A and B are shown apart, each in its own frame.
Chain A
Amino acid sequence: MDKQHIEELLDPGAIARAEALGMHARYVVEGYMAGEHKSPYRGFAIEFAQHREYAPGDDTRHLDWKVLGRTDRYFIKQYEQETNYVAHILLDGSESMQYGSGKLTKLQYGKMMAACLSYLILHQRDAVALGIFDDRMRDFAPRSDSKGTIHRIMSRLAAYQGAQRTDIPRTLHDLALQLRRKGIVIIISDFFDEEEAMLEGIRHLRFGGHEVIVLHTLDADELEFPFQGLVEFHGLENLPKLLTRPREIRQTYQKVFGEFCTRLRRGCERNHVHYVQINTRQPLSQVLSSYLTFRLRTAKSKY
């Protein structure tokens, strides 16, 4: 992963603005470091993993005093979970995400968003896992709280080129079965799939105790349908062509599309899932900061 790719994916503006909110974010993503807040993880427990010899620089708070008393040797206790918060970022890498009317496709925007979020979470010394899926999980970066992980994530994001149909429900169900520990699941997708099935998948995740955040990523054209004249639409994901005069169906389209978004939003809300609709024309920094501000506000009131 070279520097260029990192810069491409990490929107400096977005990072800067999000960092300004970083402390607040830390409070949002519960952890022992934010002990004054209620943890979102119920029945929370830290399990001992192994000992290793103390090395200068280690935090003395982790010294196993019992071993020191018995053996007079300095051992550090290592735990299986080094952090108490894991964010699973799921990026829809299907072909429909390839659409983009501006400089960026939805996938590129999603990649940037995923990268920024990963950086932000790692920067707060929380753990992050990244999954890129279409009809199934295509790439998965296991959770890690190491800042160095960001490079791996970047590489995976940059290398990924989506070209398949999407199957969001299956992916969500699979993930819900795989995740044993509760965390936050952030889904970045256009959600062009079966609504009920998707919501079922989300419910499955929620049932597993995960907090789910839906970042509904849409292109401006998909919202406005601004085309003029006679247009032949060539469907991504191998859908048949459609020839029409968009101006004459614009209102219907916007209505139908709006209803879809509304249904998705309501479905999310019913399952206590944060639904955020993102227009790829909006600056990423603005999107992240406004969401984090919102989250901070709602978190305070909720928890």
Chain B
Amino acid sequence: MQFLNPLLLFGLAAVSVPIIIHLINRRKFRKVIWAAMRFVQLSIDQNQRRMQLEDLILLLVRCAMLALLAFALARPAVTSDSGSSAGDAGVTSVIVLDNSYSMGVQDGDKTRFDHAKDAAAQVLLSLPKGSAVALYLASDVVRPLIEEPVFDVEMVRQTLAQAPLSDHATAMVPAVRQAVEALQGRSQLRKEVFVITDNPAGGWEQSEGLKAFLAGNEQSVQTHFIFVGGDPLSNLAITGLEPAEGIVPRGRRVRFNVRVTNFSKQDHKNALVRLTTGGGAGARDELTIPLLRSGEEKSVQLFASFAEGGSQPVTARLVQGERGDRLPADDLRTLVVNAVEEVRVLLVNGAPGEEPWQDETFFLQHSLRPAAANQPFHVMTDEVRANRLDLVNLDTYNAVALANVAALPAAFEQTLTNFVARGGGLLLFPGRNTDLKYHNDALHTRLALLPATFAPAVGDAEQDEVFVTLQSGNFEHDVVRIWNELGGGLFAGERTYRRLPLHLPRIVALAELEKSADGTSRVRGETTPFTGWAVDKDTAGAASGEVRYLAGRIAQDGAARAGLRAGMPRVVLRYGEGQHQASVGDSLASLSQLYQVTEAALREANPGLDWARLAPPKRLRLPPGQPAVVESSWGLGRVYQFGSTADVDWCSLPASPQSVPLFQRILGSMLRDQGRELNVVVGAPLGRQMGRTAGAGLLAKVERPQSTPTEPGMLSREAGMTAFRYDRTDRAGLYQVLFEYQAGTAVEGQPPASLRFAAQADTHESDLTPMTDETRQQIAAHAAVHDWPSASLVEDLRRGRVGAEFWLPLVLLTLLLAALEIYLAQRFSRPK
């Protein structure tokens, strides 16, 4: 026996109420001065026993009534088999139906999603009368079709039949959590969650956390997993499509990297990959991959050109016969690129030389525009000297490179921050002129523009024996990841003789900070004020399901505000192994601080070194891993901060052959940022500022992928600016937005040009490898696991339900007692 609302057992105290009322009433009587006392006494004597007995009976009935009511409200229940004879209690349940795009796998005539609906119908069949059901569609987002459990099972059945498939990825763990938590607050005896899904391993990445979660809620909510996935399937998918250089110039052949992955257990031969523009109607390029081994991912390079500028769609497709493979959704991938006329970069020269090649920006200019001045190339560079920055207008530029600039004029600071906030790119190279304090205090701390602080310069540029190299492999950042395939050693030969070590800010969770008495924030348990990034981990990104961080500098208010616009710093390139020429005053601690490496790492890199006697001409080996190039977003723009010069004064990278693809890719990443709102992950909203031109009466019509009917987009108008937004990007592919004015609207000119967006599905979803037996066992330890199709699902589900609630008989008994009480009270109070 258990009580579902045990707190209401305190209601048993109400049993004392009739007694208290009785006692109070005995104090509330009318006084009558009376003469014929003898007869009253005689009457009482004759009736005393009867009256006492009646009083006692009434008191007992009333107390019993209240006690039973308290019991009923506390909802007693038994969970043993024997309890079921008392009645079959209804189930309060949530059906979580996976509608991620792996559920679109064809299995005979039906998709997995159709099978899941069949299984859900069986679940409904298994529920006893009086059950309530909610219905959630789950993928990487949870979309409740019926948010609160309803008793109208027929309505659930109809809603289920109309549930749509999506191109979202699978992430079942949050959905299971949400469903379980939705039932936790309820006080029914039987609470069950039915998760109907295929079982790709990718959807259960957080199964450890799920296991703990299920274990914690096992007693209160019974969870059923019904897996509809069949045997492992062969699946070939396009898992990536991007312009190789990042930049897509109009009218030029642009190289695209198309990644194709074989998720099958078998090798795949002769996979034909086709790249088309203009939504399939334009020119095409294709290539056959002769052999794609099991689990292998290959990039092929295909070319496309765009005759017109602006947002242009490009689609990569795997051609596999008429029907494709059993998961056709991932056989094509569409991207919208921003075809640009030209890319303009302003190079700010902080140390002009007597000869052009001596200029600080000479090498950078040639890396960005590797063509003769009279040859056409889509990147155009302009140079300006640092002392003329006041006169510069950045509106026409896509990026700005500051090379060896001492400090920025105050007016330019504002211009630059506005430029980056709007989506411009910034490259910053230090040099001998660099004012360290200005850069650290103003650009890093105050404006939060630079992702790292500069430490004082180390190394000697006048010699060539002591240097550090660049990393040779394990490139993580998108900009340099391609070198993993090209051979990492290409950077390892580049030497840096002198540099400003980059110190990344300390990052702590916002919850770890506390306000101290002097108003500054401190990490709990520390005495010095905190300076660094405070991260609010609860701020989740709505679009892709990944957690995005709200970064804020806590040191000063102004900086904190600026920090809200800055993204998390990410290292683009790291230094490899290097050396340090010891100087007077060096110590293990100071070097650890300077290079931001642990003392243990320093000791390990220098075995046998006497750290107590560090002095010239001793040389130390430095462990690899210190950041050489750091990047972060800022507003809509992106900032790249280098640790060494843009010319070859301090390092050899600018003159390296790798500098051209490196800077082209950096520039490409900046431009991709500028057009990133054109491509979203499935589920993320589409949005675009339409400017002031669009007026009232404007309508937006969204043409969705796969020829589904058009839908209206949302147009909002605020402060004279019109913004477009569309949320239902649940299918991957091209979304075209057409604008027109409502009939009868008096407007001047044409409606705005159409917009194109593309939504891309999560590539993890293409991996149909079933979850491991270990994962399945982990889940089965705390939940019931079923497979579909199964002839005995209904019986299996029913068999698992034991126990019943007893509140109804108790309430009926209470009502019976209430009726008895009324009858007795009437009868007893009759004149006798």
Contact = CB atoms under 8 A, between A and B. Distances in A.
A233 B32 contact: yes
A230 B29 contact: yes
B219 interface: no
Interface string B12-47: 000000000000011011111111111111111011
A98 B38 CA distance: 16
A96 interface: yes
Contact of B30 (A95, A231, A253): A231
Contacts of A207: none
Contacts of A219: 35
A227 to B, nearest CB: 6
B35 A234 contact: no
Nearest to B29: A230
Given A97-B35, A99-B35, A250-B832, A230 B40 contact: no
Contacts of B831: 247-248, 250-251
Contacts of B41: 242
Interface residues of A, number: 37
The winner among B26, B828, B830, B831 for most chain A CB atoms within 10 A is B831
B29 A222 contact: no
A169 to B, nearest CB: 16
Given A227-B32, A232-B30, A251-B832, A244 B40 contact: yes
A253 B35 contact: no
Contact of B829 (A222, A236, A248, A260): A248
Contacts of A283: none
B32 A232 contact: yes
A257 B36 contact: yes
A249 interface: yes
Contacts of B47: 248-249, 252
Interface residues of B, number: 28
Contact of A98 (B35, B43, B46, B829): B35
Given A249-B832, A250-B832, A236 B33 contact: yes
A234 B34 contact: yes
Nearest to B25: A230
A99 B43 CA distance: 20
Contacts of B29: 229-232, 243
Contacts of B42: 252-253, 256
Interface string A110-132: 00000000000000000000000
A222 B31 CA distance: 16
Interface in A64-112: 95-99, 106
Contacts of A98: 33, 35
A244 B52 CA distance: 11
Interface string A220-238: 0010000101111111110
Contacts of B828: 248
Which of B31, B34, B35, B41 is packed against the most chain A CB atoms within 10 Å? B35
A186 B482 CA distance: 135
Contact of B40 (A97, A190, A233): A233
A248 B31 contact: no
A96 B35 contact: yes
Given A248-B828, A256-B43, A233 B51 contact: no
Given A244-B44, A253-B40, A256-B39, A234 B832 contact: no
Given A230-B26, A232-B30, A251-B832, A242 B40 contact: yes
Given A245-B51, A247-B829, A247-B831, A252 B32 contact: no
A239 interface: yes
B812 to A, nearest CB: 31
A41 interface: no
A168 to B, nearest CB: 14
A98 B829 CA distance: 30
Nearest to B832: A251
A96 B34 CA distance: 8
Contacts of A106: 35
A251 B42 CA distance: 12
A242 B32 CA distance: 10
A235 B44 CA distance: 14
A237 B35 CA distance: 8
Which of A96, A245, A260 gathers most chain B CB within 10 Å? A245
Interface of B: 25-26, 28-44, 46-47, 51, 54, 828-832
18 contacts: A96-B35, A230-B25, A230-B30, A233-B40, A235-B37, A236-B34, A236-B37, A242-B40, A243-B29, A244-B40, A246-B40, A247-B829, A248-B828, A248-B831, A248-B832, A253-B39, A256-B39, A256-B43
Given A99-B34, A243-B26, A248-B47, 10 more contacts: A96-B35, A99-B36, A190-B36, A230-B25, A231-B32, A232-B32, A234-B32, A244-B43, A247-B829, A249-B40
- What 5 A-B pairs have minimum CB-CB distances, sorted nearest first? A235-B37, A96-B35, A230-B29, A250-B831, A99-B35
